[in-house]
Amino acid sequence: MKRWFALACILLVTVTLSAEEITFSGGSTRMSMQQGNQTITLGGGARITSGSVQLYADQITLSGNNFRYVACTKSVRLVDAERGVKVLAQNLFFDRDEQMILIDGFVELDDAVNEVHATAFMLQFSLQEGEVLLQVDVRLFKHTESGAMACTADVMRFDRTNQDLELKGKATIDWAGDRYEAERITVDLETEEIAMDGSIKGVVNG
């Protein structure tokens, strides 16, 4: 009887999640289907797919109305092949309705479309808007025809749609043998135009 009840629960969850375009797998599963407090916890190498987003982690918990919220812990990997993005971290929170990724802790971001690799200790990423906010000891490397553009700052905003990069707080750029330092630096990645404000320093090769 218990076996049939468990099977019925799994089938019910599968139908519900299919309607919300989520698929999942894992080595172990715990489910609470109480009205208003529905949660699914996946362990043992968990994986979910929601739209173009694939999430892998040691543990993934789905919760909220229509399983809106996804919390991942340990060995987290997010892959969005449609947007050309990969994220590595030890914890990750994903709001499926807002298409927002939040990470508190060390994070690596690979953007294959824009040929960007970045590391930081905090990330906020709006997948719909294409806006990335990186904070704390941020390092970003951008491939260009003149070689790698290496950027560091306390805070960086990267607009993937408009190809804009803003660095704030101890901002530096090393690129094509030149070095730029300022409190704020903005870069148009399409035109490769650089603008600086506050405590400006630089070394350029003529």
Task: For residue 104, give both structure tokens.
Answer: 């508190």
The pLDDT of residue 151: 96
For the stretch 68-93, pLDDT in tens is 999 999 999 999 999 999 999 999 99
Residue 183 is predicted with a pLDDT of 93
**Cα distance between residue 15 and residue 64, in whole Å:** 17
pLDDT at 146: 83
Global pTM?
Answer: 0.83
How far apart CA 75 and CA 106 sit, in angstroms, is 12
The pLDDT of residue 166: 97
pLDDT computed for residue 28 by the predictor: 85
Please state, for a pLDDT cut of 90, what percent of the chain lies above it: 67
Q: What is the DSSP string of 84-131?
A: TEEEEEEEEEEETTTTEEEEEEEEEEEETTTTEEEEEEEEEEETTTTE
Q: Given this model, what pLDDT does residue 10 score?
A: 41
pLDDT band with cut points at 50, 70 and 90 for residue 206: low
Residue 149's pLDDT is what?
A: 92
% residues pLDDT > 70 (the chain)? 84
For 2-42, the pLDDT digits (tens) are: 333 333 344 334 434 433 578 988 888 888 766 666 889 99
Sign of CA dihedral 89, 95, 99, 102: negative
Mean pLDDT, the chain, rounded, equals 86
Give, in order, the Cα–Cα distances in Å from 125 to each of 15, 63, 103, 111, 168.
30, 20, 9, 12, 18
Instruction: Kindly report, residue by residue over 99-128, the tens digit of the pLDDT.
Output: 999 999 999 999 999 999 999 999 999 999
State pLDDT tens for residues 133-179. Answer: 999 999 999 998 888 899 999 999 999 999 999 999 999 999 988 99
Position 117 scores a pLDDT of 96
Question: Would you place residue 181 in the very low, low, confident or very high pLDDT band (cuts 50, 70, 90)?
Answer: very high
2-203: CATH topology: lipopolysaccharide transport protein A fold (2.60.450)
